Structure 1
Amino acid sequence: MTTTAGTALRRFVGVATDPQTYRNVSYLLLTFPLGLLYFTVLWGGGVAGVALLPLFLLGLPVLVGVLAVATHLADLETRLARGLLDSDVIYERPRPAEESLVEYVKRVTTDIRSYSALGYLLSKFAIGTAAFTALTTAAALSVALTFAPVLYDVPGFHYNFGVLTVESFPVALACSGAGVLVALLSLHACNLATRALDEYTKLMLGSERAE
Structure 2
Amino acid sequence: MMLINKEDLAVKNFSKRLKEAMGENTVRAFSKISGLPASTLNGYVNKQTYPSLDRLAVIAKASGRSIEWLASGEVADENMITVSQYDLRVSAGSGALVEEERPIAEFRFSTDWLRQQGLHGKELSIVQVMGDSMEPNLFDGDLILVRHDEARDGICVIRIDQDVLVKRVQYDYAERSYLITSDNPRYKNIQLDNDFKGDFNVIGQVVRVLQRVKQHDPVM
Larger proportion of strand = 2
Q: What is the TM-score normalised by the length of structure 1? A: 0.21
Q: Which structure has the highest helix share of the two?
A: 1
